[in-house]
Each structure stands twice: as structure tokens, then as C-alpha cells.
Amino acid sequence: MSRIGNKIIEIPEAVEVNLNGFVLEAKSQDRKNSVSLHPLVEVTIEKDKIKVSRKNETKLAKSIHGLMRSLIYNAITGVSQGFKKELEVVGVGYRALVEGNVLKLKVGYSHEVELIAPDGIDFEVKKNIISISGVDKQLVGQVAADIRSVKKPEPYKGKGIKYVGEKIMRKVGKAVKSTEE
């Protein structure tokens, strides 16, 4: 029995939800998001609540049940509040700046790394903290992971791009041998 799949999703007042065949669309002011539904899952919308149920008791239907409920919940949360990830650029001379929808990173390479924001993603930089925000939770997380992979934090000095609040396991450098004879 899926505990997550059986939870009822409450729709906020500002969000409008429509079901067109196997596509659920959530809209709010200027934001919109959609979820493609699996055929083994049935979605019912009643006033301000959504219930997700499975059509049969096969192993696949049971595994898809909770997933579909989570994807629908994330779509509704995305259009009502949005999702945000923050990355910190650490290192002497390391910088990040935004020009339009292009994020430019100076992270110790001989060249500047440029990343273009996909549709629905916004970049913002304040004091070497990069904020990635958008409606789609999966896309926000993937863009944050892509930015972090440009220069992962190294374990000796901690230089690189890391998530805000991420703990970097530091290593001790080489020990100096004594010169006693």
C-alpha cells in the first residue's frame, strides 16, 4: 500500500488545475506546469482536492502510484510557490555573474564558462551565491547539478561550486618530514 500515493493533494486558491486525457495542467497567474500521467493511474479532481488512485494491483501500478502523486504535487507547488536552489562559489578570484539569461562563471580555468538558462529557469547572483529558481522541481535540480559539475569543490581547500549549507569533507595535506639527522 502506497502511503504517499494515498495522500490527498490540496489545491491552493490561486491555482487552476485541468485534466485533459493523460495530461494534468496546473496554472497560476503567469506560471504553468504540466504532468504526463501514466495509464495505470487514475486522477479525480473535486473542487479543491485531487485524489490519485491506481487502476489495478500489479507491481508496476503500485510503484507508479506514489510517483504520479509526487509529480502532481510538485507541479502544483511549483506554480503556487516555485522552487529554488542556491549554490555558493568559493575560491580566490572565483566569480559568477548574470547577463540576461546567461550565467558566466570564472572558476580558475583559462576561459570563462557560460551556461544558458533553459526555458522556465531564472538565474540571480548576489555576493557569489547563485540562485536558480523555476516552476519545474526536476529542471531546477538538474540545472543546479550542471552548474556544480563545472567546478566541484575540492577536499583540500574547499574551492569550487557547492550547494549552500553543503558540508565538504576536508582532507589534511601532506605532512612535512622533520630534517633531524
Given a cut of 90, whether residue 51 has pLDDT beyond it is yes
Task: Examine the domain organization and report whether 112 and 76 are in the same domain.
Answer: no
Query: Which pTM was predicted?
Result: 0.87
Task: Examine the domain organization and report whether 93 and 140 are in the same domain.
Answer: yes
List all residues 6 or more positions away from 145 whose beta carbon is below 8 Å from its beta carbon.
none
Q: Which of 172, 173, 155, 153 lies closest to 163, judged by CA?
A: 153
Environment class of 24 (CB within 10 Å of its CB; exposed 0-12, middle 13-18, buried 19+)? buried
What is the per-residue pLDDT for 27?
93
Q: What is the mean pLDDT of the chain?
A: 92
Assess if residue 2 is contained within a domain.
Answer: no
Assign residue 124 the CATH number of its domain: 3.90.930.12
Mean pLDDT throughout 42-48? 91
The tally of domains found in the chain comes to: 2
State phi, psi for 28 to the nearest 5 degrees: -155, 120
- Residues 86-140: tens digit of each pLDDT: 999 999 999 999 999 999 999 999 999 999 999 999 999 999 999 999 999 999 9
Given a cut of 70, whether residue 166 has pLDDT beyond it is yes
Task: Examine the domain organization and report whether 75 and 87 are in the same domain.
Answer: no
Task: Examine the domain organization and report whether 55 and 109 are in the same domain.
Answer: no
Q: Structural domain of residue 72, as residue ranges? A: 9-80
Q: Which three cell numbers stand for residue 35?
A: 504532468
Q: How does strand 95-99 pair with strand 102-106?
A: antiparallel
Assess if residue 173 is contained within a domain.
Answer: no
* Cβ proximity of 61 and 5 under 8 Å: no
Task: Examine the domain organization and report whether 75 and 97 are in the same domain.
Answer: no
Domain boundary among 29, 63, 80: 80
Q: Which three cell numbers stand for residue 47?
A: 473542487
What is the per-residue pLDDT for 1?
57
What is the per-residue pLDDT for 180?
64
Q: Which three cell numbers stand for residue 34?
A: 504540466
Assess if residue 111 is contained within a domain.
Answer: yes
Place 181 in a pLDDT band, splitting at 50, 70 and 90. Answer: low
Assess if residue 4 is contained within a domain.
Answer: no
Given a cut of 90, whether residue 2 has pLDDT beyond it is no
Domain boundary among 80, 112, 128: 80
What is the per-residue pLDDT for 3?
84
Task: Examine the domain organization and report whether 76 and 87 are in the same domain.
Answer: no
Task: Examine the domain organization and report whether 91 and 136 are in the same domain.
Answer: yes
Task: Examine the domain organization and report whether 137 and 94 are in the same domain.
Answer: yes
Assess if residue 3 is contained within a domain.
Answer: no
What is the per-residue pLDDT for 90?
94
Task: Examine the domain organization and report whether 119 and 61 are in the same domain.
Answer: no
Question: Number of C-alpha atoms within 13 angstroms, CB side, residue 34?
Answer: 9
Task: Examine the domain organization and report whether 76 and 108 are in the same domain.
Answer: no
